Amino acid sequence: MRIEIYHASKYGNGAKIAEELKHVLESRGQQVSVHHISDVGPKEVPLADLYVFGAPTRVGKPIGSMRRFVKKAALPQGARYALFATHADEVPDKKTGKMPTPQELDARRKNIPTLDAVLRDRGMVKVADKVFSVVMDEKKGSLKETMAGQLKDGWQKRAEEFADAILDAA
Ligand SMILES: Cc1cc2nc3c(=O)[nH]c(=O)nc-3n(C[C@H](O)[C@H](O)[C@H](O)COP(=O)(O)O)c2cc1C
């Protein structure tokens, strides 16, 4: 299959996931390209068998540039797609010390559902999705370093699972 991966990584975590996904998919015999959406126009999207979109999260939702990209992307009718999101890792509530429940996490993590709704409304078909956690290190110096964080241990394994889920469904 020809697979086109588009991401909107700001601090590099999503870019690493996209490259790892490409590496795994290529090792499974697929033909894969990775693009940052700031390098390509939505109308320049080539014909492919599958599209992967990955976005960082802003106030629970995908970064605006990715929302606009998937709205305008020149995708063939009924195109198949997969989504990944990078979210800040879950941490205990400051007051109660309790970890958020899966339901609470779902309620505040609308990155994938938002992109999914846009693409589904356009008649596209989802094959897989995956959330990746970024651990924010508050001990780091600048705000930029803190926000950059680092991918939670085991992310390569999750990328491999994501690749296999895509290939199983596609
Ligand atoms: C202004 C701002 C708002 C953010 N809001 C959220 C949020 O609501 N939920 C969340 O899980 N992560 C949030 N994050 C953390 C991002 O998810 C994280 O920086 C991003 O996924 C890292 O991906 P990247 O390295 O590919 O840019 C926020 C980050 C910034 C800078």
pLDDT tens digits, residue range 46-74? Answer: 999 999 999 999 999 999 999 999 999 99
pLDDT for 106? 94
Torsion sign, CA atoms 26, 133, 11, 108: positive
Q: CATH assignment of 2-169?
A: 3.40.50.360
DSSP state of 10: S
Q: How far is the centre of ligand 1, averaged over its atoms, from the C-alpha of 147 (Å)?
A: 7
Q: Is 30 in the pocket of ligand 1 (CB under 6 A)?
A: no
pLDDT at 100 over 80: yes
Q: Which atom of ligand 1 is nearest to the CA of 59?
A: 8
- Give residue limits of the domains in the chain: 2-169
Residue 81 β-bridge partners: 51, 126
Q: Cα(83)–Cα(120) distance, rounded to whole angstroms? A: 12
pTM of the entire predicted model: 0.96
Q: Is 64 in the pocket of ligand 1 (CB under 6 A)?
A: no
Instruction: Work out the mean pLDDT of the chain and round it to a whole number.
Output: 95
